[in-house]
């Protein structure tokens, strides 16, 4: 389970770094204020909650879909 959690959080950390790169380029090119950022994904992994791994259950931690919009 520890390995699965490390992998899951490593993926999140990598994604965060890549989003940072995109935002930095938008800032450098003067386009950040003219851009909407939309982030969404499929539902989350259990990563050990309730003794489960994967997306095969209907617990709250697995069915919530992340969705965020930033822009002006």
Tens-level pLDDT at each residue, the chain (72 residues): 788 888 888 988 999 999 999 999 999 999 998 999 898 877 666 777 767 776 767 777 667 777 888 887
Which contacts (CB < 8 Å, 24+ apart) does range 6-15 have?
Answer: 8/45, 8/47
pLDDT at position 59, please?
A: 73
pLDDT at position 61, please?
A: 67
Give the residue numbers spanning the domain of 24. 2-70
pLDDT at position 24, please?
A: 95
Please count the structural domains in the chain.
1
pLDDT at position 71, please?
A: 81
Give the number of C-alpha atoms closer than 13 A to the C-alpha of residue 16, restricted to the C-beta side.
6
């Amino acid at each position: 389970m520890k390995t699965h959690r490390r992998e899951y959080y490593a993926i999140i950390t990598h994604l965060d770094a890549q989003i940072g790169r995109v935002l930095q380029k938008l800032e450098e090119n003067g386009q950040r204020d003219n851009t909407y950022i939309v982030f969404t994904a499929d539902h989350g992994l259990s990563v050990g909650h309730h003794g489960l791994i994967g997306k095969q259950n209907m617990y709250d931690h697995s069915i919530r879909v992340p969705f965020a919009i930033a822009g002006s």
